[in-house]
Amino acid sequence: MTNSGESKEETGLAERRMWWRSRRGLRELDLLLLPFVEDVYPSLSDVDRAVYLRLLDNEDPELLAWFTGRAVPLDPELSAMITLICAHGRPVS
């Protein structure tokens, strides 16, 4: 949730920054992450936003392996976030 003290302009700027951070340049990941960050991220709790940021800290090959089911993250919170993202978008194969 956004801080009630934030202005709409600050909130919009933060969401644009998150969109750019989510843009990976790898089409398969962009097809999942960009719609998620536009549609779902704004309504996430602060805890889930932190998990999403941790997810983005990983390298693209690792993210792609997780989203395609070729690997599973050891962190159960990251695994749950991947499930949430896949439920919103279409799975990558």
* CATH number for position 37: 1.10.150.250
Q: What is the pLDDT of residues 10-38, one digit of tens each?
A: 777 877 888 888 998 899 999 999 999 99
Q: What is the pLDDT of residues 49-93, one digit of tens each?
A: 999 999 999 999 999 999 999 999 999 999 999 999 999 975 555
Q: Would you say 77 and 53 are in contact if contact means Cβ atoms under 8 Å apart?
A: no
The phi and psi torsions of 2 (rounded to 5 degrees) equal: -85, 150
Does residue 3 have a pLDDT over 70?
no
Instruction: Supply 87's token pair.
Output: 């439920």
**Which element (helix H / strand E) includes 59?**
none
Burial of 79 (0-12, 13-18, 19+ CB in 10 A): middle
Instruction: Supply 78's token pair.
Output: 């990251």
For residues 92, 42, 62, 91, the Cα torsion angle rounded to the nearest 10 degrees is -10
Does residue 5 have a pLDDT over 70?
no
The verdict on residue 59 lying in a domain is: yes
Number of domains in the chain: 1
Q: Which domain holds residue 38?
A: 26-88
The verdict on residue 16 lying in a domain is: no
Does residue 4 have a pLDDT over 60?
no
Q: Is 29 helix (H, G, I), strand (E, B) or coil?
A: helix
